[in-house]
């Protein structure tokens, strides 16, 4: 690759580092709005369960690549807070399926309301086409695909 390409990659790495630091702050703040003292990891697990539930804990371990014991601790924390519901699987009653409770959904919606407004304000100067292009580029990057061509 060219020196220009190498420099562009370094710039991208730097911007991602800044973006990830910002994202960690947002996750920590949002977790506190859902439930004071909530671990950011448990918050991320809750949002995963909300999007993909009902789901087995073992499937979470496989898909998110988090240690089984760590998932168990976070599920227990969320269960104690009334944010995760457990139900037997219709296919195998020995298996428990996890889903977000109505209380969890309400708290997540309330916590996200402020965050969504902040993101909306941040990208207000962007056109819809620019936002869609960014979404497509991020999708391609995260899935190790070639960038979309115009």
Q: For 63-101, write each residue's pLDDT tens digit.
A: 988 899 999 999 999 999 999 999 998 988 889 999 999
Predicted TM-score (pTM) of the model is: 0.77
- Cα–Cα distance list, 18 to 4, 33, 51, 149 (Å): 21, 23, 26, 27
pLDDT given at position 112: 84
Q: Which residues, other chains included, contact 84 with Cβ-Cβ below 8 Å and sequence gap of 6+?
A: 46, 49, 75, 78, 98, 99, 100, 101, 104
Write the pLDDT tens digit of every residue in 22-50.
Answer: 889 989 999 999 999 999 999 999 999 99
The structural architecture, per CATH, of the domain 3-142 is: Orthogonal Bundle (1.10)
What tokens were used for 95?
A: 């298996």
Of 8-12, 39-43, 49-53, 116-120, which range is least confident? 116-120
The answer to whether residues 81 and 38 touch, using CB atoms and an 8 Å cutoff, is: yes
Output the average pLDDT for the chain.
91
Question: In which band, very low, low, confident or very high, does the pLDDT at 116 lie, cut at 50, 70 and 90?
Answer: low
């Amino acid at each position: 690759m060219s020196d220009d390409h190498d420099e562009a990659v370094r710039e991208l790495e730097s911007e991602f580092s800044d973006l990830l630091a910002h994202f960690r702050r947002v996750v920590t703040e949002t977790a506190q709005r859902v439930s004071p003292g909530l671990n950011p990891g448990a918050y991320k697990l809750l949002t995963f369960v909300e999007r993909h539930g009902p789901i087995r804990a073992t499937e979470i371990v496989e898909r998110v690549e988090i240690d089984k014991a760590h998932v168990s601790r976070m599920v227990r924390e969320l269960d104690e807070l009334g944010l995760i519901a457990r139900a037997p699987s219709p296919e195998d009653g020995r298996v428990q399926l996890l889903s977000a409770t109505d209380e969890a959904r309400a708290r997540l919606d309330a916590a996200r309301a402020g965050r969504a407004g902040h993101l909306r304000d941040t990208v207000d100067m962007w056109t819809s086409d620019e936002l869609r292009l960014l979404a497509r580029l991020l999708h391609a990057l995260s899935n190790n695909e070639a960038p979309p061509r115009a």
